[in-house]
Amino acid sequence: MALAKEENILVMTQQYTRFKLPSDVGGTMSGFDATSLNRLWDTETGIGAGSGYNYSSRPIINAGTVYFEPHAFDVKTGTKIDFALSRTYNCGIITSARHLMLFRSGTMGYVDLDSPDKGTQNYGGIRPGCWINTIPANGIVLMPDATARCNCSYLIKATIALKPVSM
């Protein structure tokens, strides 16, 4: 579940993941009024058993949009929005700031939410860990080293902080 505080909508998803129970079929998402808990909408996500896409991330609510890997939906209506996320190694959790989505995609992958048509971009040579290890915070991106017990082959094993480049 995730709360869209500004819209006062609670979003509940049924994910189809490798950690599912036999009764979890996945593939649906619902929106509820967070005060009354009345159901506002239901939508099929097009992701679930037999779809060929076993996503592993949680829903992210950002500026009226629910990003639910690999798609996006309007938080008020549940209507699918023209957006497609593509990443290599869909392990790890997606994080987001107002203008940027970050995730593991082989290396550190990101989508510029102001130009989503550019698709997934990569910051090569270094990789986030297998959990929440790429953190957008107050205009910078923090990525602590998460390679201590990993046998993946990546060039840079370090903690990094990225700041915006002034134009």
**Residue type (1 letter), 5:** K
Whether the pLDDT of residue 167 is over 50: the answer is no
**Is 106 or 20 the better-scoring residue by pLDDT?**
106
Q: Give the pair of three-digit tokens for residue 12.
A: 């509940």
Is 164 found in the same domain as 113?
yes
End-of-domain residue from the set 57, 84, 111? 84
Domain that residue 115 falls in: 90-167
Q: What pLDDT, on a 0 to 100 scale, did the predictor assign at position 142? A: 92
Is 120 found in the same domain as 48?
no
Is 130 found in the same domain as 58?
no
Is 162 found in the same domain as 98?
yes
Whether the pLDDT of residue 8 is over 90: the answer is yes
Whether the pLDDT of residue 28 is over 50: the answer is yes
**Is 20 or 163 the better-scoring residue by pLDDT?**
163
Q: Give the pair of three-digit tokens for residue 80.
A: 């699918």
Q: What pLDDT, on a 0 to 100 scale, did the predictor assign at position 113? A: 93
Please state which of the ranges 50-59, 79-88, 144-153 shows the lowest mean pLDDT.
50-59
Is residue 145 very low, low, confident or very high in pLDDT (cuts 50, 70, 90)? confident
Residue with tokens 């102001």: 114
Determine the average pLDDT of the residues in 42-69: 78
End-of-domain residue from the set 32, 62, 84? 84
Cβ atoms of residues 1 and 10 within 8 Å: yes
Is 70 found in the same domain as 130?
no
Q: What pLDDT, on a 0 to 100 scale, did the predictor assign at position 55? A: 59
**Residue type (1 letter), 62:** N
Cβ atoms of residues 126 and 155 within 8 Å: yes
Determine the average pLDDT of the residues in 111-118: 91
Is 41 found in the same domain as 18?
yes
Domain count, the chain: 2
End-of-domain residue from the set 84, 104, 126? 84
- CA–CA dist 19, 10 (Å, integer): 23
- Rama region for 92: left / alpha / beta (φ>0; ψ in -120 to 50; rest): left
